[in-house]
Amino acid sequence: MHLQILSGGESFANFVQWFSMIGSLIGVSLLAKQFGGNWQTQLFAAIFAGTIPMGILQSSSTQTDYAVSFWLVCFTYFLISLIRQGQIHWPYALGAGFSLGLAVLTKPTAYMFAGPFVVWAAYVFLSKFGFDSWKPALLIGAACLVLNSGHYTRNLGLFGSPIGPKTNMSYDVISPSSLLFNVDRNLALHRGSGIRSSIREFHRVLNIDINDPRTTWYSLKTKFQVLKPSLHEDTAGNLLHLSLILSASFLFFISKEIRSSRVLASYLTALFCGFFLFCTLLKWNPYNSRLQLPFFVLASPFVAVVLFKSLKEKVILTIAFALLLSAVPWILLNSTRPLMGDQNIWNRTRLDPYFNTRPELRDAFLGAAYFLKLNKCGQVGLDVGFNDWEYPFWPLLNSGANEAIRIEHVNVKNESGRISALPHFSGFSPCAIISSRADQAQELSTETGAYTKEWASSPITVFVRTAPPRMP
């Protein structure tokens, strides 16, 4: 939001994730140092995190998974720094609290990945500080709550829950078999194609439908599928990195010397408990791999430390080179923002990125904006559905306008529709409504008046007002 205001547009929007990636690389290297690693271990941790395919693709996107990864890295760094102190260190506690607050404010997946680390810290605090453990716990909790109090209050008043409305993404059934079921399917997002039959056989043994709507995000209207290797920020898998995480975990357990490190053992336990919580609480969908980015980023220092304690330097150097080499396709051939090829970012106009993944919408959006400009409509209503595109209308309608076009949502059917009764909306009287869900209708009636269809290009329809607003 602040970058939007400062730049007057979306020019700097991608920097949020970009700097989140840079911050995460620094953070994981510091975590590796906390685990006793030298500068080479720190460098390998940064290379591991920096070459995660999903991370590379997201680092130049406007998703939020790298942002939440960054705050989780900060949280775990401050938390481990605090745990390793012989006494309560207030700056570390404050840093942990604010980092945790920013993580959960960024995305709810932070609750799942951070939860086990919080439990770990609570146990250590009680062991080290005894009765005084409430002091750092209170500071961490208060710092987290301060950052989220406004968000929680608004959600509580609107949805009756501090974390927002209940969605169909959460599990409807929780059991050991459903956990195994979802773990297998989530790992399949990274293992790639060629394993569908083995997964089906595994689920047949568990006696669970592979497309059970209680464990699958049915709103996607898709069945379970094992995707091919992808260069898209929504579906890319991290096969090489997953293999290294599992290999490092195996090396950790077979080595008595490495296993004796309580900090590493606790970190690994918290890391995988976070992943299991993710698999327990969220239904499977083909886009879960991007939501798992924090798991891979947080695993980086653990993998680096264990490999350096277990393998020869030449082997580690070979692995680092393989990681760097494997990252090249995702760096150069990003599906939506490639650096090479006919559709590379250097040959694009400002409008092109708006329709990277939905090129079929371009003509409809441009046509609707042109029609409304011809009619000199200064107030426009949006009648859109769940997950429908909206943002391109804002720059398209305001481009070249002498005064900013006022755009508000109308005909809202969910809980947030109550907001339209607030004073802010009292002066809003749109002369036209853009709709993405009424392409078959000839007329549209809302609280702002009656409207008739005047322009359409699927899936966008523009309705122009023919009657004044209804009197309250």
Residue 461 pairs in a beta bridge with: 435, 456
**Structural contact between residues 465 and 432, judged by C-beta atoms closer than 8 angstroms:** yes
Task: Name the nearest CA neighbour of 379 among 397, 395, 362.
Answer: 397
User: How far are the Cα atoms of 143, 410, 431 from residue 418, in angstroms, in the given order?
Assistant: 31, 11, 22
Rounded to an integer, what distance in angstroms lies between the CA atom of residue 194 and that of residue 280?
25
The residue-averaged pLDDT of 265-291 equals: 93
pLDDT of 120 above 90? yes
State residue 461 phi and psi, 5-degree precision: -130, 140
Helices (H) and strands (E) in the chain, counts: 19, 6
- The domains of the chain are located at 2-332, 355-467
**Structural contact between residues 108 and 94, judged by C-beta atoms closer than 8 angstroms:** no
- Grade residue 297 by pLDDT with cuts at 50, 70 and 90: very high
The residue-averaged pLDDT of 158-177 equals: 76
Apex CA 105: angle with CA 100 and CA 110, to 5°?
60
- Give burial (CB, 10 Å; 0-12/13-18/19+) of 117: buried
pLDDT of 197 above 60? no
**Type and span of the H or E element at 305:** helix 293-310
pLDDT of 321 above 90? yes
| Cα atoms in the 13 Å half-sphere on the side-chain side of 458 | 1
Apex CA 115: angle with CA 177 and CA 202, to 5°?
20
Going by their DSSP bridges, the two strands 379-383 and 443-446 should be labelled as unpaired
Could you give the strand order of the β-sheet that contains 449-457, starting from the edge strand earlier in sequence?
A: 406-409, 379-383, 432-435, 460-467, 449-457, 443-446
- Grade residue 342 by pLDDT with cuts at 50, 70 and 90: confident
Give the tokens for residue 345.
Answer: 């970012």
In our burial notation (b when 16+ CB lie closer than 10 A, e otherwise), range 71-101 reads: bbbbbbbbbbbbbeeeebbeebbbbbbbbbb
User: Mean pLDDT score of the chain, rounded to an integer?
Assistant: 88
Rounded to an integer, what distance in angstroms lies between the CA atom of residue 230 and that of residue 329?
10
Residues 6+ apart with CB under 8 A from 319: 244, 307, 311
Give the tokens for residue 46.
Answer: 């940064």
Rounded to an integer, what distance in angstroms lies between the CA atom of residue 199 and that of residue 126?
43
Q: What pTM value is reported for the model?
A: 0.91
- Grade residue 433 by pLDDT with cuts at 50, 70 and 90: very high
- Grade residue 199 by pLDDT with cuts at 50, 70 and 90: low
Rounded to an integer, what distance in angstroms lies between the CA atom of residue 126 and that of residue 64?
34
Q: Residue 320's Cα: distance from chain center in Å?
A: 27
pLDDT of 220 above 60? no
3-state secondary structure 147-206: HHHHHHHHHHHHHCCCCCCCCCCECCCCCHHHHHHHHHHHHHHHHCCCCHHHHHHHHHHH
Instruction: Tell me what pLDDT residue 250 has.
Output: 96
pLDDT, tens digit (0-9, with 9 covering 90-100), for 43-59: 999 999 999 999 999 99
pLDDT, tens digit (0-9, with 9 covering 90-100), for 378-406: 899 999 987 888 899 998 998 877 788 89
